[in-house]
Structure 1
């Protein structure tokens, strides 16, 4: 009955019984008959019988009102009325499906020695590149084996297809570092200092703790023996000494920091692949200083990440507030920055022994200090031994 279509109608009149009797006699099926009043009845009939009711209504003097329509003919009629919408919907779904069958991105991770370009070129030779049809790709195991053979420095390469994205995972071969051949050398001081510690692995020590040395003095000699019987070696060891660093420090008495005002503007973007089309939030920003925060949402169908999405960018107004600082706090900040600079520029295990403020003044909203730092640090550096020395 759904395929042929049926309607619910309400028959009104004084001779409803005659209408129903004649309908039954001429073979018009009616069902779900329900009397709604003394002069009206509601019933269901098929679509063909509905059109035959017109002559019966004239014979019996009744009137008919359509309550509802159901079935395939009415559905097709609605779809025909909305043809462009239906076709657009079908084309949109078809377009989404077609685009989801393309490779939109090729990412590489795990490579250090092998360059990104080398991997991409090898992958392209195997058909892995953006806008390639996924059904044209070989099995992941075959691609993995082929790429591993094509890149000599790779121990293993995995190819993982995730929706419209292909991830190439690289595990590189572990190659032992070649042993460096070193020429004979001395260890000399790279700065004026007072020796605090000396440890010699190879060579002849030339200094002792508490000795003063100048830049260029030999700390550990690479020549063993005497003039008649000598041996030239690679001097190795560690020598630490006290070194003096003089710093001119300037520290402001005001601190600037950025705070949010609470005012913001939102921009929305529609994303296709790597391109973004702005949809909302046009116009010049009314703020002098801003910070922005972006959040991206990707469309996903089942386990397939589609190349479409949205970006929501919130642009917040920021102002610069100034805060006065006590002199002792400004001095503390300046000294901390100087200590950090010493630690960065000195050897790895450098340690500050003492610090002394030689001069201090406040001028122009700043604290000026001349500070002497005493630092224990590694002071040795290499000096090649020239043949015939």
Structure 2
């Protein structure tokens, strides 16, 4: 772990060679005496190398004597040994001190904000919302309250079901999960009906509270009353009892997607020629270094970001952005009618499936090929589903 290695380097450590017949006993005694050993490598049955802090090394002599092991220093590493080596070079020590101070200051700020897990919701929208709560490059990371930011974002952005904010080093990683947009919830003490949220053919009606207005086999339209929350009272027909209707209304629904059948396929092939536009990033400022005019007729653009960082968590506000442009040749090829139909049907199916809500069950799929008035062949895909189409709607009762 980076923090562990950095801490050990600051306080200093030594790499030692231990030889003896009781190496396990040597390690066990060190553990009991809270002498930290790490990166232990067994060379043979009676030899091993390991790392130990300066303080721990000073405590090894009685352990080595007790176990009959021989201890030898192979290498000294860390800041204390470096400072001792250059103790007579004041300029170097001053520069090192300034570097440490600057490094501490730089790592106290957030220089990178990453959003992961979103598919439909735009990343820019989430980043803009994060700025509202003080999460952006250049802010002190100690001022960020991850729990408060997560709660604020999930309330502000409709469609998010989960938000987790992690502050690691100089990077803020925001993990999100998208959920299905839920209809507004009507309190149980408020009278309501159940109406159709889309067209369909009723498969079954299971009423818990209320009075069913449709039956199996009925064709219903969006907005049509399915279960009434107004229950007639014998002798008082003009003043029915109004309740909060509850029911499960399953219906057959259909989703359609269309795609023209293309008998010619255009393939993009890279020619091997490319051009790079390089931009230097200093904090939030961008400086163009090498920018060329892109004169390719057709090209593919790839953006490469190279940030100065120490590991994955300590990202510094310096880097390069390379915009690489690859030249393409457009090659047109004829494909068979059967292959073209198969490709079009696949695209049409994906178009139709995009509109199917979570919780719906696909029960059938039909593919038809229609020729329009212009002679074009169209792939028409219809997906049949079974889903609950009921949604609560207030009926204005008391």
Normalised by the length of structure 2, the TM-score is 0.49
The CA RMSD measured in Å over matched residues stands at 5.2
1:100-128 alpha-carbon deviations (Å, 9 max, x no partner)? 46448435689x9x96345439x9xxxx9
| Structure 1: tracts of 5 or more residues without a match | 1-88, 133-139, 171-177
Pairing 1:226–2:271 present: no
User: Using the alignment, how far apart are the partners of 2:196 and 2:246 within structure 1?
Assistant: 13
Of residues 322, 347, 355 in structure 1, which corresponds to 2:366? 355
- Residue 217 of structure 1: CA displacement? 4.3
1:182-202 alpha-carbon deviations (Å, 9 max, x no partner)? 532222335554322223232
1:68-110 alpha-carbon deviations (Å, 9 max, x no partner)? xxxxxxxxxxxxxxxxxxxxx9999999777546448435689
**Distance change in 2, residues 1:166/1:219 (3 Å):** closer
Query: How many residues are aligned here?
Result: 268
Equivalence map 1:304-343=2 (5 Å): 307-343=317-353
User: Using the alignment, how far apart are the partners of 1:317 and 1:353 within structure 2?
Assistant: 44
- Residue 276 of structure 1: CA displacement? 4.2
Pairing 1:181–2:187 present: yes
Pairing 1:284–2:293 present: yes
Pairing 1:367–2:377 present: yes
Mean CA deviation greater in 235-244 or 367-376 = 367-376
**Distance change in 2, residues 1:257/1:201 (3 Å):** farther
Tell me which structure has the larger Cα radius of gyration. 1
User: Using the alignment, how far apart are the partners of 1:186 and 1:358 within structure 2?
Assistant: 41
CA contact (8 A) 1:196 1:210 kept: yes
Alignment match, 2:123: none
1:336-371 alpha-carbon deviations (Å, 9 max, x no partner)? 34333333334430525353638436956x423566
CA contact (8 A) 1:203 1:236 kept: yes
CA contact (8 A) 2:308 2:315 kept: yes
Alignment match, 1:116: 130
CA contact (8 A) 1:358 1:372 kept: no
User: Using the alignment, how far apart are the partners of 1:246 and 1:362 within structure 2?
Assistant: 20
1:226-274 alpha-carbon deviations (Å, 9 max, x no partner)? 3437532221222222345676652322233433222123455544323
Q: Secondary structure at the match of 1:284?
A: coil
1:200-220 alpha-carbon deviations (Å, 9 max, x no partner)? 232223333233445554322
Normalised by the length of structure 1, the TM-score is 0.50
CA contact (8 A) 2:307 2:317 kept: no
User: Using the alignment, how far apart are the partners of 1:288 and 1:378 within structure 2?
Assistant: 51
**Distance change in 2, residues 1:252/1:101 (3 Å):** same
User: Using the alignment, how far apart are the partners of 1:242 and 1:258 within structure 2?
Assistant: 42
CA contact (8 A) 1:350 1:378 kept: no
Q: Secondary structure at the match of 1:195?
A: strand
CA contact (8 A) 2:150 2:165 kept: no
User: Using the alignment, how far apart are the partners of 2:195 and 2:353 within structure 1?
Assistant: 22
User: Using the alignment, how far apart are the partners of 2:95 and 2:281 within structure 1?
Assistant: 16
CA contact (8 A) 1:192 1:213 kept: yes
**Distance change in 2, residues 1:338/1:227 (3 Å):** farther
- Residue 167 of structure 1: CA displacement? 5.6
Alignment match, 1:54: none
Of residues 204, 214, 217 in structure 1, which corresponds to 2:211? 204
Pairing 1:194–2:201 present: yes
**Distance change in 2, residues 1:168/1:340 (3 Å):** closer
Of residues 322, 333, 354 in structure 2, which corresponds to 1:344? 354
- Residue 296 of structure 1: CA displacement? 0.7
1:5-59 alpha-carbon deviations (Å, 9 max, x no partner)? xxxxxxxxxxxxxxxxxxxxxxxxxxxxxxxxxxxxxxxxxxxxxxxxxxxxxxx
Of residues 100, 105, 110 in structure 2, which corresponds to 1:106? 110
